[in-house]
Amino acid sequence: MEFGLSLEQRQFDDSLRSFLKDRLPMDRLRALAEPGMGFDPSLWNGLAELGLHGLIVPERFGGAGLGILDAAVAAEALGNAAAPVPFAGSLVMAPLAFIDSATEAQQDEYLPGIASGEIRVAVAFSGFGGQTGTARASLEDGRLSGRITGVMDAASATHFLVYLPDGHAAVVAADATGVSTKVNRSIDRTRPMTDVTFDAAPAERLGAANAPLVAAQTVLDAGRVVLAADTMGAAQHMLDAAVAFAKERVQFGRVIGSFQGVKYMLSDCVTVLEPCRGMVWYAAHAQDAIQDEARLTACHTKAHLAEVARDVARITTEAHGGMGFTDLLGLHYWFKRIMFNRQVLGGPERCREEAAQLQGWTLHA
Amino acid sequence: MDLALSEEYQALQAEIRAFIATHGHKSPKVGGGRKRPDQKTLDWQKLLVEHGYAGRTIPQEYGGFGAKPDVMASAVIAGEFGRANVYAGLTNQGISMLVPTLLEVGTDEQKKAYVGPTIRGDIIWCQGYSEPGNGSDLANAQTKAELKDGFWVVNGQKIWTSSAHYADMMFLLCRTEPEKSKHEGLSYLLLSMNSPGLDRRPLKTMTGRSEFNEVFFTDVKVPETQIVLGRGKGWYVANVTLKHERLMIGDAGKMTARLEQLIKLLQKSEIDGVPLIRISEYRDRLLRLQGEVIAWKAHNLRLLTEAAQDVDSGVKRMIVKYGGTMLGFRLSSLAVDALGAAGLPYESAGEDAEDDDATTWNIDYMYDVGLMIGGGSNNIQKNIIGERGLDLPREPKVQGTVAIGRG
Ligand SMILES: Cc1cc2nc3c(=O)[nH]c(=O)nc-3n(C[C@H](O)[C@H](O)[C@H](O)COP(=O)(O)OP(=O)(O)OC[C@H]3O[C@@H](n4cnc5c(N)ncnc54)[C@H](O)[C@@H]3O)c2cc1C
């Protein structure tokens, strides 16, 4: 029994973190936040060199063939840096969907491009994504119609993968006729939300889904775990910043970290946040290897991280005093990253309700 | 990441299962631990020690099984006994705190005299640390012991002493070097609870039971050799003990079991014929707790792995008592709310009563508050997390004190 990251995973984490530290200093983050498109070609290409794009793509398609745990490690690092990268959608959920549900021909067509970073697929759910907004889509004779709002990781997408209410997914090119998109900058300036309308757009159904609803849930769950990992990284950043600040800031002739009031705020944060890291690892590992715990842990992890991180974000901002409330410090980028992750792919209430259904605890179960 | 047990531990697992299949029927009821173990419990404990499921790592010469320290083996044993709902052996302050302390700093004679009988349950210990005026500020203990004619003569008072009403022995923190500084003036003595001049008075707690006591000392004579490590070393020894106390409180296996009971309670308890688990407000609280328990279970796996690799877990370990007792209280809070008005008449009938489920929840709800105070209060835990874990500066010192406190 060994519950922890392998040496390779830790090395990958280190190199990703040092790359992001190098390439995404605060002024760069600020510059990218202005347009707020959640994408930067140079950052994206740089990450290709670290092997981020093909992380979970099988080796025969040019990827590394790793699992959701590896993706969670990467997501924590990305969240820690508030990196504007369409990771959860384009590099985790999309390739997973193609691995699980696409025909060989479709895999040949898409997976190598995903691994090289040229194809960026945004994943949209109609019916069971758990988000507020509009989400309807239908496929008839190879034509996709409908409207889905609030699609994440879509501003730079070359394709959309749209989950239909029956669990089947259809892939459509972003520049196909009948596809119109509106990218909205979001509160989280590191990731926008896209509204997309399909008007009889030519689309192709992924042709090898055996149990489509199960496959769709698998993709959704992976997305939820990866977003939870991102939240973990963002919350850890805020806590580290607050601890560092508390060791420097002087009031009443003392460093504020020596006041028990401040100390206890931060002790509370670490006490609730640290167990979340194990939870994220466990849920990610369950996606890879413990099938009968995969759904339950994904729902719970998405929900629990959202709740804990809300407290951590609030308390650590408070610990910075007036500075924390300013734009100057930039702490708010992480605060908002946590806000974003909470709402997309199902907020905590929704995720817990799904966990209840799974256990037969609801009226309609 | 590999959650499977290696062959070695699978073999251990199989061995334990075979043991439980053969002997499980002799196990006393799981739970309890507030009373002196009865004969059935003592016989079972003896069997566990013989097979290495209790006192596993205690050297054979001191009455143990003599296996090398192996947290993974301990976890496998705890897991198997838990799963089979079989009594996993005595846990008390003697076994969890004094024995490891003696093994670390005791003399050979002390180990020979006390370790074996303690792990078998023949000697029950209590912890004589807190005094009316000195709880968190444990190093300020004032109970005096003076050396006269080969005996320590003890005078003073201890309070909140758990199990003292049925204990045979006490490990005592007392002041032997009054002229020295606060921390250097203490010694650690081992004494019989039947010593003349020692008076124990059970102290009733909010649960309605008397779980702890006041202990008064009037010229109590303790042989000179009953000191551990030597004069003035008491603070050091007490901290060796406290290190083990912290590890004792806050255990994820117990949380999982409580969560499962809680789920059953919400399925059974009804308002106007509707089970509470079907009422979204109750259900959502349960789900939040389920999420928290999953997080702590994963955290425990992480600590276990690090311990097996001999890695110091630092702040990850320091948060366990504070986080664990808080979660424990939230679990019993929902239970009390699920019992609702129908649960209110269930009061403990005293420490010897066999409690039903409702009474047990009511007591747990209160006892969980006690756990936040005993063994180093939660504020003291937060001092430790902040100062040792996050490296935040200490409170400015009042002359001669250290504010971080016991625990
Ligand atoms: C169920 C239970 C079992 C116990 N069993 C034993 C036992 O077997 N043996 C034994 O010796 N003792 C035992 N105790 C006593 C226990 O160790 C003390 O109660 C505890 O250490 C707190 O000390 P105190 O009661 O004097 O409270 P105080 O130290 O007076 O604390 C009162 C409040 O002030 C806070 N406080 C104190 N100092 C600080 C500080 N520096 N920073 C911030 N806050 C502070 C505390 O957190 C607490 O909230 C037990 C207690 C309980 C509740």
Q: Do A264 and B393 touch (CB under 8 A)?
A: no
**Alpha carbon of A153: minimum distance to chain B alpha carbons (Å):** 27
Any ligand 1 atom below 6 A from CB of B187: no
Rounded Cα–Cα distance for residues A135 and A149 (Å) = 6
Task: Give yes or no for B278 touching A (CB within 8 A).
Answer: yes
**Tokens representing residue A335 in the block:** 């605060």
Pairing status of strand A254-255 against strand A169-173: unpaired
Q: Which residues pair with A292 in a beta bridge?
A: none
* Alpha-carbon dihedral A133, A139, A143, A149, rounded to 10 degrees: 10
A240: closest chain B residue by CA: B390
Q: State the average pLDDT over residues A321-341.
A: 97
| Whether A352 and B291 lie within 8 Å, measured CB to CB | yes
Per CB-CB distance under 8 Å, the chain B contacts of A278 are 295, 298-302
For residue A289, report the distance from its CA to the centre of ligand 1, in Å: 45
pLDDT the model gives residue B301: 92
A297 interaction partners in chain B (CB closer than 8 Å): 294
**Average pLDDT for chain A:** 97
| ipTM score assigned to the predicted complex | 0.94
What does the DSSP assignment read for B287-349? HHHHHHHHHHHHHHHHHHHHHHTT---THHHHHHHHHHHHHHHHHHHHHHHHHGGGGTT----
What is the distance in angstroms between the Cα of A188 and the nearest Cα belonging to chain B? 26
Band (B245; pLDDT cuts 50, 70, 90): low
Q: Which domains does chain B have, with CATH numbers?
A: 7-90 (no CATH), 125-238 (2.40.110.10), 251-389 (1.20.140.10)
Instruction: State how far the alpha carbon of A30 is from the alpha carbons of A87, A184, A318, A326, B157, in Å.
Output: 19, 18, 22, 14, 64
Q: Would you place residue B243 in the very low, low, confident or very high pLDDT band (cuts 50, 70, 90)? A: confident
- Confidence grade of residue B335 (pLDDT, cut at 50, 70, 90): very high
The closest CB to that of A258, out of B278, B389, B396, belongs to: B396
Q: Decide if B245 is catalytic.
A: yes
Q: Which of A142 and B350 is assigned the larger pLDDT?
A: A142
Residues of A whose CB is below 8 A from B284:
349, 352-353
Nearest CA in chain A to B10: A1
Q: Which residues of B touch A261 (CB under 8 A)?
A: none
Q: Which of B189, B377, B380 maximizes ligand 1 atoms within 8 Å of its Cβ, making it the mutation to test the pocket?
A: B377
Which residue segments constitute the domains of chain A, with CATH numbers given?
Answer: 7-116 (1.10.540.10), 121-205 (2.40.110.10), 212-358 (1.20.140.10)
Query: Of the listed B7, B15, B245, B270, which one is catalytic?
Result: B245
Give the angle subtended at the CA of A333 by the CAs of A331 and A337, to the nearest 5°: 125
> How much distance in Å is there from the Cα of B1 to the middle of ligand 1?
40
> What is the DSSP secondary-structure string of B34-101?
SS---HHHHHHHHHHHHHTSSSTTS-GGGTS--PPP-HHHHHHHHHHHHHHT-------HIIIIIHHH
Structure token pair of residue A324: 């924390």
Q: How far apart are the first and last CA of chain A?
A: 35
Residues from chain B contacting residue A246 (CB–CB below 8 Å): 392
User: Rounded to an integer, what distance in angstroms lies between the CA atom of residue A205 and that of residue B149?
Assistant: 94
- CB-nearest partner of B386 from A6, A255, A263: A263
Say whether B138 sits in a helix, a strand or coil. Answer: helix
- Ramachandran sector of residue A8 (left: φ over 0; alpha: ψ -120 to 50; beta: rest): alpha
Instruction: Indicate which atom in ligand 1 lies nearest the CA of residue B373.
Output: 53
Write the pLDDT tens digit of every residue in B340-389: 999 999 988 877 777 888 999 999 999 999 999 998 999 999 999 999 99
DSSP A143: E
Burial B14-53 (b: 16+ CB within 10 A, else e): ebbeebbeeeeeebbeeeeebeebeeebbebbebbbeebb
CB-based contact B316 A1, cutoff 8 Å? no
Reported as a single tens digit per residue, the pLDDT across B146-200 is 999 999 999 999 999 999 999 999 999 999 999 999 999 999 999 999 999 999 9
Cα B376 to averaged position of ligand 1 atoms, centre (Å): 6
For the stretch A157-181, pLDDT in tens is 999 999 999 999 999 999 999 999 9
A338 has a pLDDT exceeding 70: yes
Q: Is the CB of B157 under 6 A from ligand 1?
A: no
- Of all residues in chain B, the one with the smallest CA distance to A263 is B386
**Cα of A262 to ligand 1 centre, how many Å?**
22
The answer to whether the pTM exceeds 0.80 is yes
Q: B126 pairs with which residues across the strands?
A: B170
Round to whole Å and give the CA distance between B215 and B230. 24
CB B124 within 8 A of CB B392: no
Among A263, A301, A305, the strongest candidate for a mutation testing the B interface, having the largest count of B CBs within 10 A, is: A263
pLDDT score of B348 = 84
> Residue B361: in which H helix or E strand, if any?
helix B357-373
Is A297 in contact with B301 (Cβ distance < 8 A)? no
Distance B105 CA to ligand 1 centre (A): 26
CB-CB neighbors (< 8 A) of A276 in chain B: 295
> pLDDT digits over A267-307, tens only?
999 999 999 999 999 999 999 999 999 999 999 999 999 99
Q: What is the pLDDT of residues B25-59, one digit of tens each?
A: 999 988 766 789 999 999 999 999 999 999 999 99
How remote is the CA of residue B214 from the centroid of ligand 1, in Å? Answer: 14
Summarize pLDDT for B277-332 with one digit per residue, the tens.
999 999 999 999 999 999 999 999 999 999 889 899 999 999 999 999 999 999 99
Tell me the CA distances in angstroms from B134 to A59, B126, B405, B407, one per residue in order.
65, 17, 10, 13
**Separation in Å, CA of A63 to nearest CA in chain B:** 21
pLDDT at res. A68: 98
Q: Which of B5, B292, B389 faces A304 most closely, judged by CB atoms?
A: B292
The response to whether residue B362 sits with its C-beta less than 6 Å from ligand 1 reads no
Instruction: State the DSSP code for B134.
Output: B
Closest-CA residue of B relative to A262 is B386
Reported as a single tens digit per residue, the pLDDT across B114-132 is 999 999 999 999 999 999 9
| B308, B383, B385 member nearest A270 (Cβ) | B385
Rounded to whole angstroms, the Cα distance separating B293 from B312 reads: 23
What band does A365 get if pLDDT is binned at 50, 70 and 90? very low
Element at B198 (helix H, strand E): strand B198-203
- Give the separation between CA A331 and CA A316, rounded to whole angstroms: 9
Residue B216 alpha carbon to ligand 1 centre in Å: 19
Q: Which two tokens stand for residue A175?
A: 């520049």
Predicted confidence band at B397 (pLDDT cuts at 50, 70, 90)? confident
CA neighbor of A72 nearest in space, from A266, A180, A233, A272:
A233
| Residues in chain A closer than 8 A to B4 (CB atoms) | 1
A271: nearest CB among B305, B385, B396:
B385
CA distance A104 to chain B (A): 30
pLDDT of residue B249: 46
pLDDT, position B251:
66
Q: Which of A94, A152, A214 is nearest to A342 (CA)?
A: A152
Binary contact (B385, A260; C-beta < 8 A): no
